[in-house]
Each structure stands twice: as C-alpha cells, then as structure tokens.
Amino acid sequence: MKDDTTVDNIAKSAAIFAEALLSEHKIISCGNGGSLCDATHFAEELTGRYRDNRKPLPAISINDPAYITCVGNDYCFDDIFSRYVEGLGNEGDVLLAISTSGHSKNILNAVVQAHKQKMKVIVLTSAGTNELSQNADIAICAPPAPHSDRIQEIHIKVIHILIQAIEHAINLRNKD
C-alpha cells in the first residue's frame, strides 16, 4: 500500500533542509543508540559526500561522548540534546530528531528547545500516536513494527533519499 503522506513529507523535509543550507544555516541531528548512528550517518554524508563530490554542507550530529556524559552527569540524561540545541541552534537551522518509539524524553526535550530557538523540526519515528510526531513540523513515520531494527531499516532508507533530494535541490539552485 502506498502512503502519499509519507512521500509528501519526505519531499517537504528535503526542501526544508535544502532551503536552510542554501540560506547558510545548519542541520543538527540527534537520536539514541542506533538512531544516533543514523543521525551521525546523515550528518557525515552532508559534511563529507554522498554520491558526488561537492562542497561540504553544514550538518552536525550530537554524538560527542565527552559532551553527552558531562551533561548527563552534571544535569541529567534528558537534557543531553536540548542543551546542545540551546547552545548551538539558531533561528533558521533545522533539527533532525530520530526516535523509533517517539517517546524518548531527551529527544522530545531537544524538539521543544529547537522550537524555542525558532528552528524547524523534522522527525523520523514510527507511525501511531506519539509525542514526537505531535511536536514536529514534519514527521516521517515508518510503519509500526514489533522490533525497532525494522523501523531503523526504514529510517536509513529515508535518510539516503533525503540526502539525495537535498543534493539535487542544491545543485539545481547553484546552476541558476
């Protein structure tokens, strides 16, 4: 079964990411566990390269273990992403927040903080009612699955589609 909402949300998200980058803003991404690996993969493909050589794009994943353990110890684990967004997020930037459940408190706190910073928020999560989807500008939702690895498999496919669409949009704009 085709879900036009998901396809539309991917296209809209790619346009938001590309516009932010073309306007000299950055992307910050976050997630827990495997979702952090996906958030990091997204950022490194943008700052490094995906398929073709191009200028590096400003994207960073919140994945520094010294930072995460410092904030987790001095404040609490629920604040590890939101404090980073507060410190480095600016109006016009975009947060990519990833949570297979949509219920991770530290991811939700980052989303709330991103909105306070007047950032756009794109989330990758699973379908169904969850607080993360409800607080996103755009939610891209994988079908529900009994195990998170199946949701993560969808998320990485979406991430690759997003990167390809971002690069395409930037290449089109740069040709003008």
CATH, residue 106: 3.40.50.10490
Look at residue 147 and tell me if it is in a domain. Answer: yes
Reduced to 3 states (helix: H, G, I; strand: E, B; else coil), residue 145 is coil
Look at residue 88 and tell me if it is in a domain. Answer: yes
Q: How far apart are CA 75 and CA 95, in angstroms?
A: 22
- Residue 35: enclosing H or E segment and its boundaries? helix 34-47
**In a 10 Å sphere around its CB, with 0-12 CB exposed, 13-18 middle and 19+ buried, how is residue 20 labelled?**
buried
The CA R_g of the chain, rounded to the nearest whole Å, is: 15
The DSSP letter of residue 147 is: S
Look at residue 70 and tell me if it is in a domain. Answer: yes
Can you give the residue range of the structural domain that contains 89? Answer: 4-170
- Residue 159: enclosing H or E segment and its boundaries? helix 148-175
The predicted pLDDT at position 18 comes to 98
Look at residue 78 and tell me if it is in a domain. Answer: yes
- Tokens, residue 174: 């740069």
Look at residue 93 and tell me if it is in a domain. Answer: yes
- CA-to-CA dists, residue 4 to 7, 47, 132, 153, angstroms: 5, 30, 21, 20
Look at residue 176 and tell me if it is in a domain. Answer: no
The answer to whether 167 and 52 are in contact (CB under 8 A) is yes
Counted residue by residue, the chain has a size of 176
Q: How far apart are CA 152 and CA 88, in angstroms?
A: 27
Look at residue 87 and tell me if it is in a domain. Answer: yes
The residue whose two tokens read 């755009």 is 138
Please work out, in degrees rounded to the nearest 5, the angle formed at the alpha carbon of residue 41 by the alpha carbons of 65 and 43: 85
Look at residue 175 and tell me if it is in a domain. Answer: no
pLDDT under 50 in the chain at which residues?
1
Q: How many domains does the chain have?
A: 1
